[in-house]
Structure formats: C-alpha cells, structure tokens
Amino acid sequence: MAGSGRGQRYKLPASNCVVGRSRGAILLPEDPFVSAIHATFLVKEGALFVRDETSASGVYVTIPGTEAIAPRTLFSAGLRLFRFSGRIEAPVNLPGQPVIYGAPMPLGQSLYAVEEILMGGRAGRAVVSAATLLTIGQAHCDLSYPQEEGLAGRHCELSPTPTGAMLRDLSGGLGTYVRIPAAIERPLRQGDRVRIGQHVFQVEALG
C-alpha cells in the first residue's frame, strides 16, 4: 500500500510468511528501517496474525477505533511517532537534599505526558497535561503539525485512565498505528494496515 512495492499484492501461504530485509518470503532490501528478519504473518484456524520478530524499528498496526494503551507505548499518526509516557509523579523532597521548585501540581489531578520521537530515538516536542483529553492533528490540537502529509485535522486523541490511556482514531481512514509488543501475535482483520519500516501492508481478504 506504501513503500517501494506500492500496489503489489502478496498471497500469504497457509502457514507462515516472514518479512525482512534479507530473509523471508517478502523481501524489502532497500528499506533501511527493516531488520534482516522483521516480522511474520501467521494463519491459524482461518485467522491472520502478525508477530514482531524483535525488530529494531518495530511493527505497527492500525487500531480499530479505540484501544487501551499502557505507559511507554509507541504510536504513530501520519509520519510522526509518539510515546505515551504515562503518569508523572511529583518529585519528593528528601531531607538534606536540594529542594526542587517549580509549578505546583494541580490539586486532585494527575499529570501525564506525550512526547514525539525523532529519528534515532531522540525526544522531540512534548506535552505535559492534566486535562482529560490530549489531541494530535494538523491544527488546533495540543500537538499540531500544519500541512503535515497523512495527518488529519484532528487525527487522534488520548484520554488518561488509571492504568494508562485510551487512544482514539479520528483520522477518517488515514489510520492511527500502535507498536505491537515483540514476539506477541496480534490478530488482524479485514482492512487492517501493518507498517513495517517505510512499507504499509493492508489486509484485503482472509481465508
């Protein structure tokens, strides 16, 4: 769907199909973000799954509307990569140690953070908020990227929960992706998209 093989269709075998830069049934040799063995598509009892083979850059899958995410989860909107850092605890002043000054914590509220991840894993822009909603998109959002390719006006939003956050896709079909844990088989449905390196694959049919 995207990448050097855009428009090409791959018929998956009835068992496993490995994707990689130098090994596998689907080879992506020109993509510098693809590991030698990057991911595996699996068919089990008529259902399709994808597994990240501990790749360096990860495997990302579109979310089905909303998805609960844990702290430290990576997710993608358009060409941007973000990390939900989770709840931020107030620093504790220890006896005999320098006193930390700063803006007071909101009473009865918890702070959480979302940061952009740049090339090489460097941290980019970040938002620390106590609001019940944090938005990402082209304009009028907490993290705005005007005229960004592949990004909707209001692309996605996060709502904090006691255990993490709820991520909601508002992109109108462009897709919001989450990085799946390594070695875990993630089920795929018709229309789901999988991002491997700079390539995007879409599930067109199951069976």
Identify the band that residue 4 occupies on the pLDDT scale cut at 50, 70 and 90.
low
Distance, CA of 18 to CA of 5 (rounded, Å): 16
Q: Which H helix or E strand runs over 144? A: strand 143-144
To which residue do tokens 């083979």 refer? 53
- Determine the pLDDT at residue 125: 94
Query: Strands across the sheet with 26-27, in order?
Result: 26-27, 16-20, 39-44, 47-52, 185-188
CA angle in degrees (0–180, nearest 5) for 49-165-174: 55
Q: Greater confidence, 70 or 3?
A: 70
Full-model pTM: 0.88
The DSSP secondary structure of 38-72, one letter per residue, reads -EEEEEETTEEEEEE-S-SS-EEEE-SSEEEE-TT
Identify the band that residue 21 occupies on the pLDDT scale cut at 50, 70 and 90.
very high
Least Cα distance to 69 among 146, 181, 206 occurs for 181
Domains, the chain, ordered by start: 17-58+180-203 (2.60.200.20), 62-90+108-177 (2.60.200)
